[in-house]
Chains A and B, each alone.
Chain A
């Protein structure tokens, strides 16, 4: 979708995207010539259609645009629907694109029964952050279990490699 400032005959530029509110996005465009601003307000169907494509709406982060859909979140650069994304481990319905907290019956992070917390090094955490969020909780749980079973309480890249080897990958 594109917006044209009719008096200037100039394409409008996306300025800000507010986090979705009750399924609606507020996206502000402005004319670079006259500065006139408009807001596109989506209904829930329109929001969902874009969300289903797995794309983000917002100014290109690489261009240093001032507007952003959500601030300070690691997910902000990836998804325009950050406000819809509960934090990992929080109870929520399944969200295939954003992940589902691993079922407690199969073990989840931080649940009762985990006697000692397993720490992740920054490098290992970075690897985890790089995988699709819908498998992240179960990957975290499985690898922490793998580490604990070996008497280890820190996951680093060597443990990840060992886990790959162990699981036949």
Chain B
């Protein structure tokens, strides 16, 4: 009797071929992108999205062609922060054009599609059992976005990842070895512990782990024009101590309340270049570029 591998094809649906065609569409769609960089952490609330947007801004200011894909489908924030919440997607001759920020960064975010008053829900034949299929569905959606939107010629496509160490690795699997990872942490032991798990998990993947950025590394007091401590963490990369993560520190970025206001209003960082935060982000951007070459 014939076995599975003796039979060519699956009798009609060509499921494996369809999946392979999806992958080809993604590869073709990203052919003009020089670098794929995923900004993750594992930990939530450390500023991945803010870091992604403002690093993109710093890189854009250097003349690079940048796009952001907000891969946090369940908690998308890039649409609001980048000021493209009310943007319209326009069908091109083959693919969908992406809206751009005022400084020319192309952005896809589910926040441009779903109002903030609603959550992302998928129609399902298996009601109430989303734990059995939801991740597959979300990656299928990611594939559709990568294959259907017009990414064009880019220097960097940055992925703003959702939290979760396991999710970070799933993105590494899905996006493939071309994608490099940048991790974001804050100077707290709790955050460091979670990010360390992401480092451990990613170290088993073929992807490059570029390093980490310590966000909220103090806060910038405009009244004093000084950086003051925000956390009393056990390490402080700015002071030269080690995080224990075993990967390079690409820089430290202090918290700036003004930057937070900019994010809420969707204003670009370009208005804040000559501040400690602006300079810190520019330094990280430089380090990121050096690590990619």
Contacts and interface: CB of A to CB of B under 8 A. Distances in A.
Contacts of B133: 45, 48-49, 51-52
Interface in A126-169: 127-128, 130-132, 134-135, 138-139, 141-143, 145-146, 160, 163-164, 167-169
Contact of B7 (A11, A60, A127, A141): A11
A20 B14 CA distance: 19
Interface in B89-104: 89-100, 104
B148 A2 contact: no
A146 B91 contact: no
B246 interface: no
Interface stretch (B113-121, B163-171, B229-237): B113-121
A164 B18 CA distance: 31
Given A48-B132, A54-B144, A160-B90, A93 B121 contact: yes
B136 A100 contact: no
B126 A48 contact: yes
A119 interface: no
B92 to A, nearest CB: 7
A72 to B, nearest CB: 20
Given A2-B11, A94-B120, A167 B113 contact: no
Interface residues of B, number: 61
B15 A84 contact: no
Contacts of B7: 2, 4, 11
Contact of A52 (B2, B94, B137): B137
A168 B136 CA distance: 33
Interface string B121-151: 1111111010011101110110111001010
Interface of B: 1-2, 4, 7-15, 18-19, 22, 73, 86-100, 104, 106, 112-115, 117-118, 120-127, 129, 132-134, 136-138, 140-141, 143-145, 148, 150
Interface of A: 1-4, 6, 9, 11-15, 20, 23-24, 29, 44-45, 47-60, 65, 81, 84, 92-98, 100, 103, 105-106, 127-128, 130-132, 134-135, 138-139, 141-143, 145-146, 160, 163-164, 167-169
17 contacts: A9-B2, A11-B7, A48-B124, A51-B133, A52-B137, A53-B140, A54-B144, A58-B13, A93-B123, A96-B137, A105-B117, A134-B141, A135-B96, A135-B113, A139-B89, A139-B90, A139-B96
